[in-house]
Chains A and B, each alone.
Chain A
Amino acid sequence: DAMVIQNPRYQVTQFGKPVTLSCSQTLNHNVMYWYQQKSSQAPKLLFHYYDKDFNNEADTPDNFQSRRPNTSFCFLDIRSPGLGDAAMYLCATSSLYQETQYFGPGTRLLVL
């Protein structure tokens, strides 16, 4: 089945230690998104890629970076995680012709 896959499902990192979360898709969608969702809150968009074009949200901290080496994969890099970065990170995809965003299962990040 076509799907959005996120690895790992749970990630524990130390304060200040760089961490990378990954997302892959078999839907061949043009657009990939990264959302941050803190406990009991709505998801908040960090950035998205339209093909290779990177689009950063104005309030996304510089500590968050992203890479999209090809259509299928997208990575979220947190350069120096702080305690406030503990959250669920959701990857989503959509296509040019169908605007519905399809989400992966998410990665829960814990910062110690």
Chain B
Amino acid sequence: AQKITQTQPGMFVQEKEAVTLDCTYDTSDQSYGLFWYKQPSSGEMIFLIYQGSYDEQNATEGRYSLNFQKARKSANLVISASQLGDSAMYFCAMREGRSAGNKLTFGGGTRVLVKP
């Protein structure tokens, strides 16, 4: 079974509008971390935002916010006021356990294209 599911393979968004990227996860661990990365066409994976399983408040980083619903096992990324430079592939990822070196499991990604 997939541990990280991103159900939207691609989406268009109008410049200056907000967009929500869906991510659901599956784990039996009590301690885990959820991450969102952006990958432009250049290929670099750019860290956007992190949510720990014990964090009670939703994470925010500038125009990025993470809508964490633990009971539903979802960790959706919200990008506010989309910009043309936000066009990229977005990956949701999960780290299980608490040891250094725990690997990330990535979802299949969502490609976002921002229209002017």
Chain A residues close to B by CB (< 8 Å) = 30-31, 33, 41-43, 45, 48, 50, 55, 57, 88, 90, 92, 94-96, 99-106, 108
Contact = CB atoms under 8 A, between A and B. Distances in A.
B44 A50 contact: no
Given A31-B101, A100-B35, A92 B43 contact: no
Contacts of B100: 30-31, 50, 94-96, 99
A96 B103 CA distance: 13
A50 B101 CA distance: 6
Contacts of B104: 43, 45, 101
Interface of B: 33, 35, 37, 42-47, 50, 91, 95, 100-104, 106-109
B101 A88 contact: no
Given A48-B101, A104-B44, A106-B44, A99 B95 contact: yes
Contact of B107 (A42, A50, A57, A88): A42
A52 B28 CA distance: 30
Contact of A105 (B33, B42, B103): B42
